[in-house]
Amino acid sequence: MTPVRRARAVLTVFLKEVRENLRDRRTLTSAFLTGPLLTPLMFVMLINFSINRELDKAEQPLKVPVIGAQYAPNLINALKEGGVVPQPPVADPEQAVRDQQIDLALRIRKDYPEAWRKGEPVQVELIYDSSQRDSRTPVDRVTDLIDHYSRMQGAMRLVARGLSPATAVPVVVAKRDQATAQSRAVLLFNILPYLFVLTLFIGGMYLAIDLTAGERERQSLEPLFANPVPRWKIFLGKLAAICAFSTASLLICLVGFSIVGRFVPTEKLGMELHMGPSFALHVLLLQAPMIVLLASLQSLVAAFAKSYREAQTYVSLLMMLPILPSVVLMVMPIKPQDWMYSVPLLGQHLGILDLVRGSGVSPLHLALCLGGSAVAAVIVAGITMQLYRSERLAISG
């Protein structure tokens, strides 16, 4: 058989599967709506909500119960100028914080006036629960105000004694932050690689299940295998159809992010995010071998199931794979090394973060990422191809 006729056979299977599944609402919904459109919308909505909430907390008046406010009137006035609204003391501030009735409380000790008159260090207590996420911004805000007041009063004490305020600061740290506005975006958008891989996974999942376990359950796989066409051509045609749906899903997702990403107020946090055509093309390039790898893996797992529902259970378990790199990097924040780019999923994760950071993917890292994932894709596709030669695959029940 000539190469042209071989390609024609694969193309015939590909067109057949694409045409049939374009009429399947479940496949179309998962590939072109649920994942690629809702993912960027939900992500941007959550990011906007989180940013606006933190900014509102930083700008709105902050109500803080104060115990012993009468002992430090000047400190209280300084806090008021910073937007803090002192509230009446609570009977048990520790318990109130633990019960999440208040975010924090400020306690001023009785010996504050005497120690202040003697020029001795005085102590105030901030009572809060660090496990409560909502308390972080108020605590930082009150702490900064107290630190500023302390520095001002310390400088005034030195001036009153005829000393320069610089005497108390023999060493000054000059910070030279090398982060750019774009590179800082990684702190907020480090989940993007996971979302892209998850979109790929969902885009081809139902099609992979239907083309193996679904046809097996409908007893339409056996007549297909009865045609005088090698099994590997049938598999490649089905694999191409799954990859086409996954690629279309990722494209829609990238277009969605490029549109809705403009509505993320990153400038309020001193960040920049560029998700234009160049970003999309690089993501597609990085994910190209991953498309084949995930499609082959989904087909392999679904081939072991005897029914559509059983295959759906098996393939759904694979959805834990895309999140592994994110979990590893969060639990063990290690410095990326060259060899990591050759690990499937991890290499894509690091490469996309490089794109978000604005540094770009180096030719070496790009080659390692594409090469490592391509080798894994060929291995999994070869195993699945061997499984397609088994007569048991065509038998249902």
Q: Under a CB-based contact definition with an 8 Å cutoff, are residues 264 and 48 in contact?
A: yes
Q: What is the mean pLDDT of the chain?
A: 83
| Most trustworthy range by pLDDT among 32-41, 203-212, 217-226 | 203-212
Residue 152 clears pLDDT 60, i.e. is over it: yes
225-250: pLDDT as tens digits: 777 778 888 888 889 989 998 999 99
DSSP string, 175-190: ------TTGGGHHHHT
Ordered alpha helix ranges (H), 183-276: 186-189, 192-209, 215-217, 221-225, 231-260
238-296: pLDDT as tens digits: 899 899 989 999 998 898 888 887 777 777 777 788 888 899 999 999 999 999 999 99
pLDDT at 39: 77
Q: What is the mean pLDDT of residues 220-226?
A: 73
Residue 369 clears pLDDT 80, i.e. is over it: yes
Question: What number of other Cβ atoms are within 10 A of residue 378's Cβ?
Answer: 14
Distances (CA, A) of 121 to 77, 79, 111, 150: 19, 19, 11, 10
Residue 5 clears pLDDT 70, i.e. is over it: no
Closest to 102 (Cα-Cα) out of 123, 127, 77, 75: 127
The sheet that has 104-108: what strands, in order across it?
A: 84-87, 62-67, 104-108, 124-128
264 SS3 class: coil
Phi first, then psi: what are they for 180, rounded to 5°? Answer: -95, 170
Question: Higher confidence at residue 69 or residue 18?
Answer: 69
Phi first, then psi: what are they for 87, rounded to 5°? Answer: -115, 160
Residues 140-151: b if buried by 16+ CB within 10 A, e if exposed: ebbeebbeebee
The band of 6, judged by pLDDT with boundaries at 50, 70 and 90, is: low
pTM of the prediction? 0.77
Residue 322 clears pLDDT 80, i.e. is over it: no
Give the Cα separation of 359 and 369 in Å (integer).
Answer: 16
pLDDT at 283: 93
E strand map for the chain: 62-67, 84-87, 104-108, 124-128
pLDDT at 43: 78
